[in-house]
Chain A
Amino acid sequence: MIIGSGKPIKDILAMIEGYTKILIVGCRGCVTVCSAGGEKEVGILASAITMARQAGGKPIEIKEVTLERQCDPEYLEQIRSTVDEYEAIVSLACGAGVQFVAEKYRKIPVFPGINTNFIGVTEEQGVWTERCQACGDCKLHLTGGICPIARCSKSLLNGPCGGSANGKCEVNPEVACGWQLIYDRLKELGRLDQLEVIIPINDWSTSRDGGPRKIIREDLKL
């Protein structure tokens, strides 16, 4: 899922400075799972902003709404009648959701309440780690199910580099060396032979390097 984390309150306060009626919109998708932008976080942010503004002598009116998702137009329609009453929206969705709200409601400024961090997984409650870089050309079958592009700090396709020590990446002792993980997994699978083959230079045009991407499914379009 997409992992995000809340922006510092002072940054959000700076964005809404001067506005007296705002709408905070949460999302029940990924950001709820990683406790960054769900209904609960919307409530906490609304309280915090209310308190901060009252303490500063500049009260603010806040409406809280949490949508099923902010990345599908049907769900965004649900707030169509509400938005006209507000001066600004703070969206706690991922970057895609924030932008979609802004696209649908062009006359009202839309601000991001969280930072979108990465595509990842829940290792334990409260700990999320990156797994995928959305390169558009999945190679997991070549590396025992562990991604060299996302999990190697240098995205090497023929790693590890000389800085791998005790299974850790030279960049950060808390980060596992992606290629050590790949090596260990292929050893467990009895497929170390896969590592004797040189993986050729990558085609990065399917990743963000090739420009903003679009997928069209003709079989699903009318």
Chain B
Amino acid sequence: MTSDSRLEKILERGEFAVTSECGPPRGADPEVIRKKGELIKAAVDAINVTDNQTSVVRMSSFSSCIILKQMGIDPVLQMVTRDRNRIALQSDILGASALGINNILCLSGDHQKFGDHPTAKNVYDMDSIQLIQTVKRMRDEGKFLGGEELKGVPRLFIGAVENPFADPFEFRVVRLAKKVAAGVQFIQTQCIFNLERFHTWMEQVRDRGLHEKVHILGGVTPIKSLGMANYMKKEVPGMDVPDELIARIKGVDKEKRAEEGIKICVETIQQLKVIEGVHGVHIMAIEWEEMVPRIAEEAGLLPRPQIK
């Protein structure tokens, strides 16, 4: 075990893991995070907190993770390389471990043009793969990037994301291979609507033997409305929402569409459970966190195993 992470224990035991995420508030009110944490804590093994997602300033992932930790939840600290250089990132890695955060998710992060401060300077001192290497070096070699020894080695379970639906498609599995070589231990994918394409990607993953080297958690998101489905299809780069799915949502009366969205989400999870190499699910119910326990229940994921 490389950390005290509950998620790591579940995955090492060969159980199907469940994670979800909380978006922090656009303000200083800790209650927002506490409420979201309360809603989902019983349904999951770990909760991610996003790091200024889409470059919109929110309460930091680090502080939100501490709030969740205080509630007895095992948080996943998301760290993007867009805003902090290697000095700040290594510093936060030490601080996170010191405060009992066990999981870290390494990302490059959305470009600041998307967010509310498009005139900011961006950092990108390193990319997500180099960040994975950094955490691993600090944890396993006990050294800073500069080569000096740490006094007190962090214990962290290292994660990253991969998007099987971005281009170039043939290269996505190579990028996963690079992350594995860098030291990643778990992957959460972008939300899956096109299961056929996901199957193809998993085949490529298995061909390279990567499914035995990293735990893959398939991402799912319940669709709340037709507008949401269309938005994700047209406006979000790297998301694949098939026409059949849009048609399915459209084919249902407006008041029943949210229910249909939940149904689709549950069906997707059930399909993921039987794919070789998929070791869990990551439920991203954006601004719909109250649905997570129900989705987990209906997908047969509850109760979560007791771990000590």
Contacts and interface: CB of A to CB of B under 8 A. Distances in A.
Interface stretch (B28-36, B94-102, B168-176): B168-176
Interface in B125-151: 125-130, 133-134, 145
A160 B168 CA distance: 8
B209 to A, nearest CB: 14
Given A162-B238, A163-B238, A196-B178, A155 B166 contact: no
A158 B237 contact: no
Greatest chain B CB density within 10 A among A162, A163, A170, A192 is at A162
Nearest to B163: A162
Contacts of B108: 154, 156, 161
Contacts of B166: 160-165
A166 interface: yes
A163 B190 CA distance: 11
Interface residues of B, number: 35
Interface stretch (A19-27, A121-129, A199-207): A199-207
Nearest to A167: B167
Contacts, number: 93
Interface string A185-209: 0000000100110101110100000
A201 B111 contact: no
Interface of A is mostly: loop
Contact of A200 (B122, B130, B167, B174): B130
Nearest to B168: A183
B254 to A, nearest CB: 29
B145 to A, nearest CB: 7
Nearest to A204: B125
A158 B130 contact: yes
Interface in B168-194: 168, 171, 174-175, 177-178, 181-182, 190
A195 B127 contact: no
B290 interface: no
A156 B82 CA distance: 10
B130 A196 contact: no
Interface string A109-138: 000000000000000000000000000000
Given A170-B110, A171-B113, A157 B238 contact: no
Contact of B124 (A154, A164, A195): A154
Contacts of B109: 154
21 contacts: A154-B82, A156-B124, A157-B130, A158-B178, A161-B108, A161-B127, A162-B161, A162-B238, A163-B111, A164-B167, A165-B238, A166-B167, A170-B111, A170-B114, A171-B114, A177-B167, A180-B168, A192-B174, A198-B133, A198-B182, A201-B125
Interface of B: 82, 86, 108-111, 113-114, 122, 124-130, 133-134, 145, 161-163, 166-168, 171, 174-175, 177-178, 181-182, 190, 237-238
Per CB-CB distance, the 9 closest pairs between chain A and chain B, nearest first, are A162-B163, A170-B237, A165-B237, A156-B127, A158-B129, A201-B130, A163-B237, A171-B111, A162-B238
